[in-house]
Structure 1
């Protein structure tokens, strides 16, 4: 029998964390974070990482498993999530995935075959030699020309991912984006995906207030500490919440400008998340408001009970 997995998706600040706790409590579940930045130790406030108190005794996974200078790809995410699903299911618990990293969650739940295309050592060595001689910019510009969608997802400092995307194109004739689109979207799990959405005005207000709370709780000090530890150019520090604060820490930008950019980028990210989930997966959507959140959560729990009973 397929393992049952419940996933909670939707834009940032919409209330996925609280809902995942309620679902785990109701259905004997344990939670796997679906946020690709919460894997990093020390990136706590800016990633809205769940606190011990907020967990309410529910075990959580995929949090604090990497140092800020370590790479973490969609393939890595898939491996860890699928391992935790097996582990949680083996104890007759229900894995509950909560997060907003769309491609990563889809890759894990629909079993993308990242290893299907074997590496070609000759191509790899040539690209690495180009990197050594000319730097990453010519390679990154080539990626922008051949696969602009993939280039937009990869920071130039992430040399490994830039080279891998170019490898796939040179070896297969397909861009990495085209290669991913060819994946067969059939999940190996008994999968139930709940989407939580909110009207734009309410969601943007929640995002702005969340960021004000992050700042109050020490976001700038957290980014400053990571900067002082030498992590400025690591891929993890390109996450929203961190990249906006560094110019302020370096005295290149005012505090007010940094926070306004953070709020703007967070709102834009929420819009991209929502669009991505709407177009990519089969999701049961629930629209909530701050006033009806508890009522809607109860509806979701009741609907889930009916679905699970009939599967």
Structure 2
């Protein structure tokens, strides 16, 4: 298996990915125990302090003494930024490796995983530049914006269909002199990496997700949402829209019964799991394992197709 990049003498970074509810955290802990690893979080919602029950964050008592990084780094009023995360996670990975330890990245936020592992460049932003192009768009309309973009990025003008994306493409070109499409990522690891994907029979996964939602409610999710609401949850564009939290805010507002919120959360979670699977299945570098297989951590370590772990 090709892991990519020069390794600087370090063994490959491990990444455990896949749909929610497949046991990624448990496998990551098992691999970290066996391989001298430390956990690096790549779940965007687990960045948030206090969002514990609804994100299935491993509690301190369940971490087996293994260091965990990039958990609880944001208040719920702050927006998660994949570009900011990229700088943070790469520094953490380098620091872990410098101590002779193994980074074990774990999470289901696909773009955040790629930001950590791949050569991935994010186009810069400038609110003033964007505002000028938004004003221009209001004056000249969609066709006018398309004509403006066609002067500097003909392919983008032909491909993009809405004003927001055209404004973004014009903003990027004005700042960088490059087309927006030139920033599109390639599947090329920054450093040697092995990605482990977990999958599960759909019926089993759906049953597991439904049971997990009920367990979260019994563990006090409504009280967690109430406390976070008092801490400004609704002001956070990322946190307030999180699955479970949005549905339980409706319960607090008297707009939804608890039973309805539970069912809506389970439905949204199933849909999210499908989107995650679609995202990760598109990456041919991932080696897939049955999440229900016994002795999974030992099987992963022993799998010869994964090369030198």
Task: State the alpha-carbon separation in 1 of the partners of residues 119 and 204 from structure 2.
Answer: 34
Give the aligned partner of residue 275 of structure 2: 272
Out of 18, 43, 60, which is 1:35 matched to? 43
1:92-146 Cα shifts (integer Å, max 9, x gaps)? 00100011000110122003111xx45457523426889xxxxxxxxxxxxxx95
The gaps in structure 2 that reach 5 residues or longer are 1-5, 137-158
Cα distance 1:165–1:64, how it changes in 2: closer, same or farther (>3 A)? farther
Cα distance 1:263–1:169, how it changes in 2: closer, same or farther (>3 A)? farther
Task: State the alpha-carbon separation in 1 of the partners of residues 99 and 228 from structure 2.
Answer: 37
1:168 maps to 2:148: no
1:248 maps to 2:251: yes
Cα distance 1:304–1:51, how it changes in 2: closer, same or farther (>3 A)? farther
Task: State the alpha-carbon separation in 2 of the partners of residues 61 and 285 from structure 1.
Answer: 25
RMSD (Å) for aligned C-alpha atoms: 2.7
In structure 1, the residue corresponding to 2:44 is in which secondary structure? coil
Cα distance 1:147–1:225, how it changes in 2: closer, same or farther (>3 A)? farther
Alignment of 1:20-99 (within 5 A): 20-99=28-107
1:1-34 Cα shifts (integer Å, max 9, x gaps)? 4242100001101011110011001001000011
Out of 123, 130, 137, which is 1:124 matched to? 130
Give the aligned partner of residue 234 of structure 2: 232
Query: Scaled by the length of structure 1, what TM-score is found?
Result: 0.80
User: Is the contact made by 1:146 and 1:175 (CA closer than 8 Å) also made in structure 2?
Assistant: no
Task: State the alpha-carbon separation in 2 of the partners of residues 119 and 23 from structure 1.
Answer: 38
User: Is the contact made by 1:165 and 1:175 (CA closer than 8 Å) also made in structure 2?
Assistant: no
In structure 1, the residue corresponding to 2:303 is in which secondary structure? helix
The gaps in structure 1 that reach 5 residues or longer are 131-144, 152-161
Per-residue deviation, 1:241: 1.4
Per-residue deviation, 1:68: 0.8
Task: State the alpha-carbon separation in 2 of the partners of residues 183 and 277 from structure 1.
Answer: 15
Task: State the alpha-carbon separation in 1 of the partners of residues 222 and 288 from structure 2.
Answer: 35
User: Is the contact made by 1:147 and 1:175 (CA closer than 8 Å) also made in structure 2?
Assistant: no
Task: State the alpha-carbon separation in 1 of the partners of residues 179 and 221 from structure 2.
Answer: 38
Query: Scaled by the length of structure 2, what TM-score is found?
Result: 0.81
User: Is the contact made by 1:36 and 1:77 (CA closer than 8 Å) also made in structure 2?
Assistant: no
Per-residue deviation, 1:74: 1.2
1:239-273 Cα shifts (integer Å, max 9, x gaps)? 11111111111001111111100000001101110
